């Protein structure tokens, strides 16, 4: 059996105990009587993939929403118009379909952002809490209420849903400061909520290409002031690509020092940003290589799947890894750290305990016909087996048998 921690590949056996955790890794493990065994020679075993930035409340609405254009503001307006009429049952069904598609392709944990307030109320949040319960034994699902830009100015007596959105069981609090009338006030509002409810912050930060109106330093300052190092994640960070190299290095180092993780979303940024450029159309991604060099934990994720924001998407994180390598100008020697961007890095940023390929970890595994992670990412093998807690949730293990008594 092949295994990887992206730094090495070795042939070995993996024993999974009755509690669904890895109990032994090594050569030629003697199977216990009555325990099912599978011959995985020629296959690669890696930890389950982790998609830490999705929008399951919006997924699969592409055919239901008429968007006037393919810009970010156009997609936001189109979804806002639709969200008031979207039923909880329909939203739940679409979210479950995408979650199952992700699971079949090897993703065992997802963090989803969910719109609250405005037209949607708490409907999407409640639907995804229900989905979390439905899939609890098959998929780890974290839920982040995405606060609307006008939330800080609302009367607390008429906006009790703001507290409810987190108190119901949110895993973090989020929002997009760039769309607020007062971005600094909105950032402070989000950090206040995080502090009050003792949850992390997961921002949509500067999903635009205007280097004159970024909020990197403000987010970094709040993280330090509130003592939230290691508990803040910034998605997109596209505006970093619009800064001079000296400013990029300064911001990247400050993000690293503050323990702020960054999530790059190549599908959305390639599709939505830079459409108004008359020449040399920008890619829209953040400075992935510079962030990594500075020591920032950088993950890659799907973002939107088949909706007005991104009309395509299969839920396959290996596809996202390929896009990241190409769009971020990573090299042929970067397959290992690209795999980390869809596995160990987001697992750490999400606070997933007992993750990975080591004794004591929960056996959330992806098994595929590949030589190593470079082959896994570049080829994207279709024949995949997914285990969660040691149980098969997708695909079939070959030559399963039970050890003789």
- For 191-213, the pLDDT digits (tens) are 999 999 999 999 999 999 999 99
Q: Is the pLDDT of residue 1 over 70?
A: no
Residue 405: per-residue pLDDT:
45
Cα angle at 220 between 237 and 209, to 5 degrees?
25
If one compares 46 and 276, the residue with the highest pLDDT of the two is: 46
Q: How many CA atoms lie less than 13 Å away from 189 in the CB half-sphere? A: 23
- For 243-279, the pLDDT digits (tens) are 999 999 999 999 999 999 999 999 999 999 999 899 9
Domains and CATH numbers, the chain: 2-47+356-402 (2.30.40.10), 49-349 (3.20.20.140)
With a pLDDT cut of 90, the percent of the chain lying above it is: 84
The owner of tokens 């070959």 is 398
Q: What is the mean pLDDT of the chain?
A: 93
Residue 8: per-residue pLDDT:
65
Q: Is the pLDDT of residue 20 over 60?
A: yes
CA distance 270 to 281: 10
- Residue 35: band (very low, low, confident or very high) from pLDDT cuts 50, 70, 90: confident
The stretch 35-49 carries a mean pLDDT of 92
Q: How many CA atoms lie less than 13 Å away from 243 in the CB half-sphere? A: 23
Q: Which pTM was predicted? A: 0.95
Q: Are 151 and 162 in contact (CB under 8 A)?
A: yes
The encoded tokens of residue 331 equal 């090299």
Residue 397: per-residue pLDDT:
85
Its sign, for the CA torsion 218, 223, 226, 231, is positive
The stretch 352-378 carries a mean pLDDT of 96
- For 125-176, the pLDDT digits (tens) are 999 999 999 999 999 999 999 999 999 988 876 688 899 999 999 999 999 9
Residue 7: per-residue pLDDT:
56
Cα angle at 382 between 103 and 324, to 5 degrees?
75
Residue 401: per-residue pLDDT:
59
Q: Are 392 and 67 in contact (CB under 8 A)?
A: no
The encoded tokens of residue 400 equal 């399963």
Rg (CA), the chain: 21
Residue 4: per-residue pLDDT:
46
Q: Is the pLDDT of residue 322 over 70?
A: yes
- For 89-119, the pLDDT digits (tens) are 999 999 999 999 999 999 999 999 999 987 7
The encoded tokens of residue 131 equal 């989905």
Q: Is the pLDDT of residue 304 over 80?
A: yes
- Residue 378: band (very low, low, confident or very high) from pLDDT cuts 50, 70, 90: very high
Residue 398: per-residue pLDDT:
73
What are the helix and strand counts (H, E) for the chain? 13, 18
Q: Is the pLDDT of residue 399 over 70?
A: no
């Amino acid at each position: 059996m092949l295994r990887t921690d992206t730094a090495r590949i070795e042939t070995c056996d993996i024993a999974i105990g009755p509690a669904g955790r890895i109990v032994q890794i090594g050569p030629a493990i003697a199977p216990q009587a009555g325990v099912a065994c599978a011959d995985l020679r020629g296959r690669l075993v890696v930890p389950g993939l982790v998609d830490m930035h999705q929008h399951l409340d919006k997924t699969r609405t592409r055919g239901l929403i008429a968007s006037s254009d393919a810009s970010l503001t156009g997609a936001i307006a189109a979804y806002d118009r639709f969200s008031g009429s979207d039923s909880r049952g329909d939203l739940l069904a679409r979210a479950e379909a995408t979650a199952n598609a992700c699971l079949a392709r090897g993703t065992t944990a997802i963090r989803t952002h969910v719109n609250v307030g405005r037209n949607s109320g708490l409907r999407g949040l409640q639907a995804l809490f229900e989905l979390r319960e439905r899939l609890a034994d098959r998929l780890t699902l974290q839920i982040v209420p995405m606060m609307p830009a006008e939330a800080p100015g609302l009367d607390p007596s008429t906006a009790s849903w703001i507290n409810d959105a987190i108190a119901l069981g949110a895993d973090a609090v989020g929002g997009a400061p760039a769309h607020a009338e007062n971005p600094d006030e909105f950032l402070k509002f989000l950090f206040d909520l995080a502090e009050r409810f003792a949850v992390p912050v997961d921002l949509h930060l500067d999903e635009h290409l205007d280097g004159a109106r970024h909020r990197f330093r403000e987010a970094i300052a709040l993280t330090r002031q509130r003592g939230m190092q290691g508990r803040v994640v910034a998605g997109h960070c596209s505006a970093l690509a619009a800064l001079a190299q000296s400013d990029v290095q300064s911001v990247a180092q400050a993000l690293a020092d503050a323990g702020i993780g960054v999530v790059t979303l190549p599908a959305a940024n390639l599709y939505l940003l830079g459409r108004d450029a008359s020449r040399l159309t920008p890619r829209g991604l953040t400075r992935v290589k510079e962030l990594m060099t500075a020591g920032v934990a950088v993950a890659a994720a799907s973002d939107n799947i088949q909706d007005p924001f991104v009309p395509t998407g299969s839920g396959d994180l290996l596809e996202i890894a390929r896009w990241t390598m190409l769009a971020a100008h990573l090299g042929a020697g970067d397959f290992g750290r690209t795999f980390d961007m869809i596995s160990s890095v987001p697992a750490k940023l999400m606070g997933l305990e007992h993750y990975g390929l080591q004794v004591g970890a929960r056996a959330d595994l992806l098994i595929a016909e590949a030589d190593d992670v470079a082959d896994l990412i570049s080829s994207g093998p279709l024949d995949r087996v997914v285990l969660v807690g040691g149980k098969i949730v997708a695909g079939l293990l070959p030559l399963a048998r039970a050890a003789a008594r």
